[in-house]
């Protein structure tokens, strides 16, 4: 589960690197987006594209097949969607948990994605971080930038 494969930057994208290595190990690679998931009568389904990957900056993939399957039919599911961390993202983690309950291995663990949000989790370890402000208040943000110049 990721952002559109057409939008990634292959030389820098860790999701692409993970998929490329999995392909080198002869695993079948399927990509899907959040909008490709749905829940029907307690079962999560997905529309997914099977891809063949190429270690190139241009033309880094080909779609070789399209399937519709129960999400739990996949042996391993990677949740690699970039922010925003919004309601759709949270709902996706709930759908992934249902597949996990039916035996799929889901990385990154859906509950952990909700509980340890990448943007806020560092707040639990202030002794390890630079000065940090999380706010929607424009004046607080401006004052913080003026104080820290970064």
Tell me the two tokens of residue 95: 């759908």
DSSP label at 29? E
For residue 126, the model assigns a pLDDT of 92
Cβ–Cβ contacts within 10 Å for residue 43, how many? Answer: 13
Structure confidence at residue 34 (pLDDT): 96
The pLDDT of residue 21 is: 97
Using an 8 Å Cβ cutoff, are 141 and 147 in contact?
A: no
Mean pLDDT of the chain: 93
Place of tokens 């509950």: 111
pLDDT at 119: 75
Residues of the chain with pLDDT under 70: 150
pLDDT score, position 83: 73
**Quick check: 45 and 37 in contact, CB under 8 A?**
yes
Which ranges of 25-137 does DSSP label H, i.e. alpha helix? 87-101, 110-115
What's the CA gap between 28 and 53, in Å, rounded?
10
d(CA 100, CA 147): 46
């Amino acid at each position: 589960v990721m952002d559109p494969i057409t939008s990634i930057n292959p030389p820098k994208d860790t999701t692409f690197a993970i998929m490329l290595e999995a392909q080198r190990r002869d695993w079948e690679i399927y990509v899907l987006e959040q909008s490709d998931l749905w829940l029907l009568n307690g079962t999560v389904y997905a529309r997914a594209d099977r891809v063949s990957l190429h270690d190139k900056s241009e033309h880094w993939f080909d779609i070789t097949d399209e399937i519709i399957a129960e999400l739990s039919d996949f042996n391993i599911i990677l949740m690699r969607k970039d922010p925003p961390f919004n309601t759709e993202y949270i709902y996706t983690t709930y759908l992934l948990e249902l597949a996990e309950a039916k035996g799929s291995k889901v990385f990154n663990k859906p509950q952990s994605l909700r509980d340890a949000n990448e943007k806020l989790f560092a707040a639990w370890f202030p002794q390890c971080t630079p000065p940090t402000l999380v706010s929607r208040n424009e004046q607080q943000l401006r004052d913080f930038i003026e104080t820290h110049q970064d």
